[in-house]
Structure 1
C-alpha cells in the first residue's frame, strides 16, 4: 500500500511540474512596458559620404606658349580678380612690339610723303588747266596754233593721271598703315598675355608649375576656386532618389569635426546612378563655412 502511495505521489508531482513548465512557456503573461504616445514629426535622415568642393573652380593657364619667368602667388593664397599671379618671359615679344611700332611709324611717314605728292600733283594739274584755258583763248583769237592746243591738252591729261596715281597711292598707303597698326595691336596683345592674372576672386588650392617651366595654352599653372559657394558632392544610395528634392535641409559633418555639424541644404540632384555602387550624386551647399 505504501508503494502505491509513493507512485501516486510521484506521478502527481511529475504532472504538476509538467503543467508548470507548460504554463510558464505558453500561458504566462509577458511583461510589457508602457510608453506615452505624443504627436510629432518623424524625421527621416538619408546618409551619404562625399567631398567638399567649390561650385566655381577653374584652371589658371597661359594664353600663349612661353617660359615661366616668375610666380607671384602660391597654394593657399587668396587672390583678387585681375591680380597678377604669374609672368612669362617677354623678351622676344617685346622686340616684336618694337619692330611693329617701327613699321607703324614708317607707314605713317610714307603716307605723309604720299600726301605731299598728291598736293604737288594737284598743283601741277591746276597749273596745266590754267595754261590750257589760256592757250584755247589765244587760239580763238588766232594767237595759238593747233600744235600748242594739242600739247596743252596732253599736259592736262598727264597731270590728271599723276593726280589719280597719287590718290591711289594714298589709298594703298592707308591700307598699309592700317595693317601695320593691326600688327602692332596683335603684338601688344601677345605681350600683354605674358602677364597672367586671376580670373576672379578666390583661393589658390594647387600650384602645378615652377619658374622656368615651359607652358602651353590650357596647361594648368594654378587651380583656383571661388569661396562664395562651397558644397559637398555626396554619394547616396539610389533608393533615396525619390525622397530627395532641392532646398531640403541638410547637415554636413566633417571628419575633422565629427561633433560639430554644419547646416546646409540640397542644391541639385544627379540623375545618373553608378552602375557598380548603385549610388548617385547629391550636391549639398554649406550655409556656414568652417573657420
Structure 2
C-alpha cells in the first residue's frame, strides 16, 4: 500500500517561502546578463545613426610597421634607439659586434704602411740611381763619339806621315835630303802609329763604358718592375680594406623607413638570428584608422567609401579618408600596437573592422600608434571607388597580421 504524503502547515509555509526567495534570484540573474551584454556592446563601440553614414567611435590609429633585422647571425654591440624614439631613413638603430673586422683592418693597415714604406724607399733610390745611370749613359755616349773622332784624326795624321815618309825616302835616295832629316820623318810616322793605337784603345774603352751604361739602364727597368710589384701588392691590400669597410658598414643597422620605434626586441650584448627583429618602426608615411564594425552594419561599408577621421588627441581637427578594405580575423583576435586598448569581451561573431586610410599632413608628428578617435564613413558618397586589391602590400587582410 503506497505511502500517503502528509503536509503540515509548516511544510506549506516553507514551500511558499522558497518560491518567494527564488524569484529575486532569477530577476538578478537576468539583470546581470543584460548588464553583461551592455558591457560587451560598450566595449565593442557604439554606432551612431547618421543619415547616409556609419559613425564608429571605437577607432584607433594604425600604420605599417617595419621590422629591422639582419641577414646573418651576429651579436649586438650597441643599441642606439629606444621605445618611442623617432628615426629617419638611414639612421643607425644598432651596431653589430665588429671587433674581429676592426682587428683585421688594423693588420691590413699595418701591412699597407710597410709596403708603402718599401715603395717610397724604392722610388727614391730608383730615382737617384736612375738619374746617375742616365748621366753616366750620356757621358759614355759622348766619350765614345769623342774617342771615335780622335781615332779618325789619328788615322788621318798617320796617313799624312806615311805619305811624307815615302816622299822623304825618295828624296834621300837622290841625296836631296840627309839621312838625319829622313830619320825625323820616320820618327813622326812612328809616333802617329802609336797615337792611332792609343786612340783606338780609348775608343774601345768608351764603347765598353757605353755598354756598361746600357746594362745599368736594364737594372733600372728591373727596379721599376720591383716597384710595380709593390704597387700591385698595395692595390690588393686596398681591395681587402675596401671589402672590410663594406663589412663594417654592414655592422651599422640602419632604418629603411622613417617613423617611431614601437617595439625593441633586442638589447646590447644579445645575439640576433637572421630574420629576427631588432626593433620595429611604425612608418608614419603610411597611416590609417582601424575601426570596429558590428555584424549588422558591416554590410553597409564598402572599400572606396569616403570617410572623415577625427583623432581625440587632435581635438576637433578632421581629416578626409577612404575605406581601403574590410578586415576579417580568423581567430577573432588582433595583434595590437603599443597603447592600443585590448577588448577581450568582443563577441566572436562580431569581429569585423575597416581600415580607413588618411593623410594627417602637418599633424603626422603628433600622432602615435594606438591613439583613439572616431570614423564617419559616408556610405552614400561612392564616386571614385578604388580597387582594394591594387595595394595589398599596405595592410594584411587578416587582423592577426597587424
TM-score norm. by structure 1 comes to 0.61
1:284 aligns with 2:356: yes
Change (3 A) 1:261 1:128: closer
For residue 131 of structure 1, report the CA deviation from its aligned partner.
1.8
Asked if the contact 1:266–1:282 (Cα under 8 Å) also holds between the matched residues in 2, the reply is no
Q: Which residue number in structure 1 is paired with residue 145 of structure 2? A: 136
Cα 1:215–1:151, aligned 2, differ >3 Å: closer, same or farther? farther
Distance 1:267 1:148 in 2: 103
Aligned to 2:322: 266
Aligned to 2:212: 155
Asked whether the equivalents of residues 79 and 94 of structure 2 are also in contact (C-alpha less than 8 Å), the reply is yes
**8 Å CA contact retained: 2:63, 2:287:** yes
Q: Which runs of 5+ in 2 are unaligned?
A: 1-50, 152-198, 327-352, 361-366, 373-402
1:204 aligns with 2:212: no
The total of aligned residue pairs comes to 233
CA deviations on 1:32-80 (whole Å, 9 max, x unpaired) are xxxxxxxxxx736599x9996424x433234665312333334x32233
CA drift at 1:115: 0.7
1:150–1:183 Cα change, 3 Å: same
Matched, 1:95 2:151: no
Instruction: State how far apart, in whole Å, the 2-side matches of 1:282 and 1:157 are.
Output: 91
- After superposition, the C-alpha distances for 1:215-270 in whole angstroms (9 at most, x for unaligned) are 35654211112224311478999x989x754xx5215699x99xx99754127579
Matches of 1:128 and 1:109 in 2, distance apart? 29
Q: In the alignment, does 2:200 pair up with 1:191?
A: no
Query: Which residue of 222, 226, 240 maps to 1:165?
Result: 222
> Distance in 2 between the 1:103 and 1:211 partners?
33
CA-based RMSD of the aligned residues comes to 4.3
Residue 181 (1) aligns with residue 242 (2): no
Paired residue for 1:113, among 117, 121, 136?
121
> Against the structure 1 CA distance between its residues 140 and 199, is the aligned structure 2 distance closer, same or farther, given a 3 Å change threshold?
same
Per-residue deviation, 1:138: 1.0
CA distance in 2, matches of 1:216, 1:117: 54
- Separation of aligned partners in 1, 2:265 and 2:105: 30
Give CA-to-partner distance per residue, 1:119-170, whole Å, 9 cap, x none.
1134223312312321331133122436435423321321221222223333
Rate the CA distance shift 1:167–1:122 in 2: closer, same or farther, 3 A.
Answer: farther
Q: CA 1:144 to 1:214, structure 2 compared with 1: closer, same or farther past 3 Å? A: farther
Number of the residue aligned with 2:279 = 222
Higher helix fraction: Structure 1 or Structure 2? 2
Q: Distance in 2 between matches of 1:153 and 1:184?
A: 47
Q: 1:201 deviation in Å?
A: 3.6
Measured at CA, do residues 108 and 282 of structure 1 come closer, stay the same or move farther in structure 2, by a change above 3 Å? farther
Q: Distance in 2 between matches of 1:85 and 1:188?
A: 19
